[in-house]
Amino acid sequence: MIKITGFDKLQKMLDDASRAFEELDGKIGEVSFDPNDPASIDDAIRSMEMAIDEKVGAFKSNPMVAQLIPQMKAKYRDGIIARAESARTSHS
């Protein structure tokens, strides 16, 4: 008889990843910033990164989640920067 092990660990990792993804589904946080103030933009980015860390912090040791965190932060950072650029160009 062959015994296969590791499925319990994989199932827990998948369950944790699923819960982390549910945490990230929908509204993560709300930030406001002055599009003409780089420090304000940086503060908004840091606030969003902290909100992401808070939402998925309990699952950070999960490799699936750990891989997702930098991608999520980059996505929201790029979005904040794009909105700031758009606001600056529309008010010029």
**% pLDDT > 90, the chain:** 42
The pLDDT tens digits for 51-72 are 999 888 888 888 888 888 899 8
| pLDDT interval class at 3 (50, 70, 90) | low
Q: Which residue has the higher pLDDT, 51 or 4?
A: 51
Instruction: Give me the pLDDT at residue 26, please.
Output: 74
Give the lowest-confidence range in 7-11, 53-57, 73-77.
Answer: 7-11
**Closest among 68, 54, 52 to 18, alpha carbons compared:** 68
Burial 47-63 (b: 16+ CB within 10 A, else e): bbbebbeebbeebeebe
